[in-house]
Structure 1
Amino acid sequence: MNILIKVVVNAVAIWVATAIVPGVEVSGGDTGQTVLTLLVVGAIFGVVNAVIKPVVKLFSFPFYILTLGLFAFVVNALMLELVAWLSDQLSISFTIDDFFWSAIGAAVVVTLVSMVLNLALPDGD
């Protein structure tokens, strides 16, 4: 149940990012297909965050210290770019136009929305 909650939180956060940040898009035919695409992208984002993000954070630790934690947005943007690339390889329609404005902006939105939703929803433990 906890994994399902995290996938839904990721999907909602990515949906909010697509609504706010220009250049971040999830395209689908009808509403049901778009929701399914968002859930799959949320699941991919969860796997990327669980597997790859800790390794990137370990190697970029000096940058976290140097920027007082603001480098986390760059790492999250890199994870979103990786998810967009994986989505393209899997023929899932999730795209990010450019790194600086779109990916960084989406990373900020996804981080803030995920933080709020994780505070509001039960932990599942």
Structure 2
Amino acid sequence: MGFVLRLLVNALALYLLTRVYGGVSFAPGADLLSVLIAALVMGIVNALVRPVLLLLSLPVNVLTLGLFTLVVNGVVLWLVAAATALNVAGFGAAVIGAVVLTVISWVLDAAVRALGLEKDQ
């Protein structure tokens, strides 16, 4: 998937997350640019910070059969909220929001593939 399309899908997923789940919201007065910046920061954090967190939490992740990844995803969402106009009600809300965001992103990715908007790599 191209960079711009991936950015737009992530931005839409973040926006839909704020509409579906009350624990995550954008700051009052946030506009489209704020949503796009949050999606860009989410991509950067997912590419740079999340692999390090997963590596550091590998023993706990093995013991919990991968369920600790949900906590890592919550930390990633919390970091994005700390750096952007995204607001998270707390750590529990970040973990639940990350799960909901994962489902929304999965559905949007499937829709992009079904519509044929994704270029083969």
TM bucket (normalised to shorter chain) is 0.7 to 0.9
Equivalent residue, structure 1, for 2:95 = 104
- Which segments of 5 or more consecutive residues in structure 1 lack a partner in the other structure? 88-92
Q: Secondary structure at the match of 2:15?
A: helix
| Residue 54 of structure 1, CA deviation | 0.6
1:119 paired residue among 102, 110, 116? 110
CA contact (8 A) 1:80 1:103 kept: yes
Superposed CA RMSD? 1.7
Amino acid at match of 2:39: G
The answer on 1:65 being equivalent to 2:56 is no
The normalised TM-score by structure 1 is 0.82
| Moved beyond 4 Å, runs of 4+ | none
Q: Match for residue 78 of structure 2?
A: 81
Deviation string, structure 1 residues 31-87 (Cα, Å, up to 9, x no partner): xx5222111100100000001111111111122222222212111110011111112
Partner SS state of residue 65, structure 2? coil
Shift of 1:2: 1.3
Q: Say if 2:8 is the partner of 1:8.
A: yes
- How many residue pairs get aligned? The number is 116
- Output the amino acid matched with 1:65: V
Checking the alignment, whether the CA contact within 8 Å between 1:25 and 1:95 is kept in structure 2 is yes
Provide Cα deviations, 1:96-121, integer angstroms capped at 9, x if missing partner: 12111x10111011111112222332
In the aligned structure 1, how far is the partner of 2:71 from the partner of 2:59? 14
Q: Tell me the residue number matched to 1:90.
A: none
Determine what percentage of the aligned residue pairs are the same residue.
37
For the Cα contact (< 8 Å) 2:78–2:88, is it kept in 1?
Answer: yes
**Structure 2 counterpart of 1:98, one-letter code:** G
Counterparts in 2 of 1:3-42, with a 5 A limit? 3-29=3-29, 34-42=31-39
SS at the partner of 1:62?
A: helix
For 1:81 and 1:27, how far apart are their aligned partners in 2?
Answer: 14
Contact (CA 8 Å) 1:16, 1:109: kept in 2 or not? no
